[in-house]
Amino acid sequence: MLFTCAPKFRLPSSSLLVFRRYHHVPGTSEVSAWMPEAAGFGGVRDRSGLQDFSVGRAESFWAAAARHRLSWIRPFRTVQDCDFSRGHITWFGGGRLNVSVNCLDRHVQNSPERVALIWERDEPGSEVKVTYRQLLEMTCRLGNLLRRRGVKRGGCVTIYMPPCPLAVAAMLACARIGAAHNVVFAGFSAEALAERIRDAQSSTVITVNQGVRGGKVIELKKTVDTAVQSCPSVQQVLVAMRTENPVVMTARDVAMEEEMLLEDTVCEPAAMDSEDTLFLLYTSGSTGKPKGLVHTQAGYLLYASLTHRYVFDYHDGDVFGCVADIGWITGHSYSVYGPLANGATTVLFESTPVYPDPGRYWEMVQRLQINQFYGAPTAIRLLLKYGDQWVHKYDRSSLKTLGSVGEPINTEAWEWYHRVVGGGRCPVVDTWWQTETGGICIAPRPSEPEAEIIPGMAMRPFFGIKPALMDSEGKELTSNNTSGALCIAQPWPGMARTIFNDHQRFIDTYCRPYPGYFFTGDGAYRSEEGYYQITGRLDDVINVSGHRIGTAEIEDVLNQCPAVAESAAIGYSHDIKGQGVYAFVVLKTSVDIQEGALSQQLKNMVAKGIAKYACPDCIQIVQRLPKTRSGKIMRRVLRKVVECDLDGLGDLSTLDDPAAVQEAIKGHCDLCRKEQVQ
């Protein structure tokens, strides 16, 4: 069944929270032994003192961390120069460094044969290990190839690849020569890819001939071929071979691996300013146009490295298993940059949680001896349904920390993850953050020894993060046991600097709603004890299986259908995906169409225009949409209709035509009935 009249997954309200405590005792309470950066922080006795220091004396904290954790070509002169009102954010001014040197060369010097990447390919047991020496060599060859083919410092390369060592080498090769990368999730359609290539003005695209996922072959090069037809900026497409099947190559295409072999294995790293762009990453907002968030060099890398070390309690020699795709910020920060900056062995997961069976993750944990596993609630909810036996079949004793990201984790899934997957031994860290924040901002760790973790709560701000909850008048709520709009009250090095080519949108979206604060777009609850729980988006962004999609983006595609007059896409609670997409469409009066066929046509259009994950689960045809007298669609009302929460319809006095709501309710009930019969 697609949806139910009584959605089962809801965030527990504060009164429903299960207040069971999970205690975890880290090794030492000596702050500087645990965090060497803290050695110079006089007077800091414990980790909560460290938290206060990191916020109260942020400059000293971040300067020490930046000196300790990063290798600089030229030391920075200023720590920060930030002014939220102008959206002006600068960290480590005057400093120069190279991110690929920080992620590769310095580890090659100490332990060249340490495994940097374990490429967990689709077929279990066919993993490939790549040492730091090999990854540096790959990166240098590719850096030289890009340079020889005209990619300049300051240029932008679009990468459309599944997780694989060459994709990581491509990201690092860009960093090496000072070009920005723009990784586009390889599940996006040709149209969505083209839009991102055009906006980023890339002249070079890197892809693979075909992808392989869940036993299926995906024609990635063909998608690129279609995309670049509408991208006049693209001069060359570098094609790596993931499978042995040849693809049609045109004069524009370059056989990447063949040409890499001709290149030198030494590539001079560019000395980059701290604030030069490291990458763009597109994400959805509340308008139809995705925004290219810009992250820069030093601050981003430092923040990814520090959070990777302390949120997951990563130690030298651990195998870190983040199963996110490199096309999302999670893959950037915790499959690539954070772990590599820390000299870790990091897993690149190419498959799905259920291929070849629902034991895939845990079989992989056993085979690769993974110490920290970082996944998404949607996958945990799915696997929970298959039963404990798939977990028990495998030895998970290597696991030390379990992480969750991308969406709220409901208590049932949290408990299962903790009890069944972690055998009750491993702390579960529910990590809240966003593409905009660059790295984890709220998570249970780091914290005092013996600190509690409450299921389903992201808990505590990370070092240097000062969360604030705002009321509807824009005033900060200072008491506990309260809910509001989640802002961050002071800058931190990992935050995005701007939206590519649209700084005004950056200011309007993040800095203007609550002057003096960075607005996250999420709502949050702060408990009596001061712990945070994320309650979901406050804007028109839906979170499907941990992937963001703007309602306006979906509506833009639906409205392109000649039969459609207008539409409203909304998110609703979904058992597995967290949220699903439900669309109401109004047809043009002259149209005489068969509903089932139209629904399918509209779903195909969304898959083609954006990606499969954005497809509405359900399309309901209505005569009109409920609107205010000024013509605004009342999505709040439609959301309540879909969740069958008629008591929660709220104030309908501003409604232009109350019959529209009645019609939506009746149509929805008819659809529910049909679903139940099937």
Contact residues: ligand PRX, CB under 6 A = 283, 328-330, 405-408, 430-435, 458, 520-522, 534, 537, 543, 548
Q: CB of 283: closest distance to ligand PRX in angstroms?
A: 5
Nearer to ligand PRX, 522 or 663 (CB): 522
Q: CB of 431: closest distance to ligand PRX in angstroms?
A: 5
Nearer to ligand PRX, 144 or 378 (CB): 378
Nearer to ligand PRX, 464 or 521 (CB): 521
Nearer to ligand PRX, 359 or 494 (CB): 494
- Is the CB of residue 576 less than 8 Å from the CB of residue 382? yes
Nearer to ligand PRX, 207 or 410 (CB): 410
Alpha-carbon separation of residue 392 from 399, 401, 420 (angstroms): 14, 18, 8
- Is the CB of residue 465 less than 8 Å from the CB of residue 34? no
- Is the CB of residue 554 less than 8 Å from the CB of residue 612? no
Q: CB of 426: closest distance to ligand PRX in angstroms?
A: 17
Q: d(Cα 182, Cα 159) in Å, to the nearest integer? A: 6
CA angle 460, 465, 468 (to 5 degrees): 80
Concatenating the DSSP letter of every residue in 164-223 gives SHHHHHHHHHHHHHT-EEEE--TTB-HHHHHHHHHHHT-SEEEEES-EEETTEEE-HHHH
- The tokens of 388 are what? 């404990």
Name the residue type at position 612.
K
Nearer to ligand PRX, 256 or 458 (CB): 458
The closest residue (CB) to ligand PRX is 435
Q: CB of 443: closest distance to ligand PRX in angstroms?
A: 8
Alpha-carbon separation of residue 405 from 141, 375, 487, 648 (angstroms): 34, 6, 19, 29
Q: CB of 199: closest distance to ligand PRX in angstroms?
A: 17
The H-assigned helical ranges of 204-314 are: 220-228, 256-261, 298-311
Q: Are strands 291-296 and 442-443 parallel, antiparallel or unpaired?
A: unpaired
Nearer to ligand PRX, 371 or 435 (CB): 435
Q: CB of 293: closest distance to ligand PRX in angstroms?
A: 8
- Is the CB of residue 496 less than 8 Å from the CB of residue 436? yes
Nearer to ligand PRX, 406 or 626 (CB): 406
> In sequence order, what are the beta bridge partners of 277?
296
| Surface-to-core class of residue 124, CB atoms within 10 Å of its CB (0-12 exposed, 13-18 middle, 19+ buried) | middle
Nearer to ligand PRX, 211 or 546 (CB): 546
Reported as type and span, the H/E element at residue 282 is strand 277-283
Q: CB of 355: closest distance to ligand PRX in angstroms?
A: 23
Name the residue type at position 79.
V
Q: CB of 427: closest distance to ligand PRX in angstroms?
A: 15
Alpha-carbon separation of residue 454 from 19, 334, 414 (angstroms): 6, 23, 10
Q: CB of 330: closest distance to ligand PRX in angstroms?
A: 5
Q: CB of 369: closest distance to ligand PRX in angstroms?
A: 26
Q: d(Cα 51, Cα 463) in Å, to the nearest integer? A: 5
- Is the CB of residue 157 less than 8 Å from the CB of residue 185? no
Nearer to ligand PRX, 342 or 435 (CB): 435
- First-to-last alpha carbon distance for the chain, in angstroms, is 8
Q: CB of 464: closest distance to ligand PRX in angstroms?
A: 18
Reported as type and span, the H/E element at residue 607 is helix 595-609
Nearer to ligand PRX, 70 or 534 (CB): 534
CB-side exposure of 177: number of CA atoms within 13 Å?
A: 27
Q: d(Cα 672, Cα 583) in Å, to the nearest integer? A: 14
Nearer to ligand PRX, 191 or 522 (CB): 522
Q: CB of 432: closest distance to ligand PRX in angstroms?
A: 4
